[in-house]
């Protein structure tokens, strides 16, 4: 085991795959000479050169399109979007081209491209730079959507995404890049579509992904002091979704809380809630509780931002409601 930061784990995944396969290259804004906006590509330009670590203009629609075209010709591009907020400039390329070309060509073209970058709120980045867009991409058949929470998952899932023959939307936590964690030595690959049990428990299941997994863990520690045992399920891959892991946990605890950072309307959380209630209705002892950010654009002021995003207090209260322990 090696202790790595989230960004170091991502760097290792890309570097190891690029060393094995010359068809893989990294392209995006500031990935080369600046070493990456979040320093994920630190040292990669020096190692692989300018033909494989390519700085682009601020033109997401352009370089995303170039990446899709390169994938169609047999290369395996990794396209870094500085943040997923900027992917909206290239949404036609991702949704109407990357996601559909394999289907529309009758399988004549594979599209082995990874679109990766930071997602979610950070601190005081305002309404246009704090969005959670996994719901949008998960709604599109033809795309796989991945959201790792730990350094080990970040490395293992990114390696799987790079090797996949379909386009992968890989959303990294903007506030997770400095998080440290144990990463297995040697070849470490996490299959897409396989979730993870982050904590075992018996009283209530929390389903969460990305940065919110840490919030779920914080709430679980608080609840443990009151003898409430929480199980935490991290899907890791939003699409395809590991339904059976979620359903197995809910059937054990008989209660569920779905925690997400994004807005609640038409969200990944609403879909997971619907699937739990459809498949586990007879096993539930209470309605599924949901926690998300408030339904407003993200404020710039830090104190207001703190009111909008979920916190441990809201998670604790939701678990207690599911257990009919809420005194309010």
Structure-block tokens of residue 6: 């989230």
| Active-site choice (17, 80, 129, 231) | 129
Q: Would residue 129 show up in a list of annotated catalytic residues for this protein? A: yes
Whole-angstrom distance, CA of residue 35 vs CA of residue 17: 18
E strand or H helix at 15, and its extent?
Answer: helix 6-20
Q: Would residue 305 show up in a list of annotated catalytic residues for this protein? A: no
The residues, ordered by sequence, that sit 6+ positions from 292 with a Cβ below 8 Å of its Cβ are 259, 260, 261, 262, 263, 264, 267, 269, 310
The alpha carbon of 251 is separated from its chain's Cα centroid by a whole number of angstroms, namely: 25
Question: Is 279 in contact with 317 (CB distance < 8 Å)?
Answer: no
Radius of gyration of the chain from its Cα atoms, rounded to whole angstroms: 20
Q: Which of 134, 143, 265, 158 is nearest to 208 (CA)?
A: 134
- For 96, which DSSP code? I
218-246 burial: b if 16+ Cβ within 10 Å, else e? ebbeebeeeebebbbbbbbbbbebbeebb
| Active-site choice (8, 17, 60, 261) | 60
The residues, ordered by sequence, that sit 6+ positions from 237 with a Cβ below 8 Å of its Cβ are 144, 145, 146, 147, 157, 192, 193, 194, 195
Structure-block tokens of residue 7: 């960004």
Catalytically annotated residues: 60, 129
């Amino acid at each position: 085991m090696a202790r790595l930061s989230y960004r170091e784990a991502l760097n290792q995944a890309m570097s190891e795959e690029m060393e094995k396969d010359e068809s893989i290259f990294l392209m995006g804004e500031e990935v080369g000479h600046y070493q990456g906006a979040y320093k994920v590509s630190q040292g990669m330009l020096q190692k692989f050169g300018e033909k494989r670590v390519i700085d682009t203009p601020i033109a997401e629609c352009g370089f995303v399109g170039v990446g899709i075209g390169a994938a169609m010709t047999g290369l395996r591009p990794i396209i870094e979007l500085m943040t997923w907020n900027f992917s909206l400039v290239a949404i036609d390329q991702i949704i109407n081209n990357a996601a559909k070309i394999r289907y529309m060509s009758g399988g004549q073209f594979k599209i082995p491209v990874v679109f990766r970058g930071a997602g979610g709120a950070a601190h005081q980045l305002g309404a246009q730079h704090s969005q959670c867009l996994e719901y949008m991409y998960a709604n599109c058949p033809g795309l796989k959507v991945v959201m790792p929470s730990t350094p080990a998952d970040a490395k293992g899932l990114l390696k799987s995404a790079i090797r996949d023959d379909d386009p992968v939307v890989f959303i990294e936590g903007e506030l997770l890049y400095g998080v440290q964690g144990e990463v297995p030595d040697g070849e470490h690959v996490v299959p897409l579509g396989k979730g993870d049990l982050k904590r075992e428990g018996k009283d209530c299941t929390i389903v969460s992904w990305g940065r919110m997994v840490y919030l779920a863990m914080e709430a679980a520690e608080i609840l443990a002091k009151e003898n409430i045992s929480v199980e935490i399920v991290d899907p890791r891959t939003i699409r395809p979704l590991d339904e059976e892991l979620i359903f197995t946990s809910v059937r054990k605890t008989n209660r569920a809380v779905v925690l997400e950072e994004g807005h609640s309307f038409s969200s990944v959380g609403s879909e997971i809630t619907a699937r739990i209630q459809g498949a586990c209705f007879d096993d539930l002892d209470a309605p599924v509780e949901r926690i998300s950010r408030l339904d407003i654009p993200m404020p710039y002021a830090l104190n207001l931002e703190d009111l909008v995003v979920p916190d441990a207090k809201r998670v604790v209260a939701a678990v207690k409601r599911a257990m009919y322990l809420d005194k309010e």
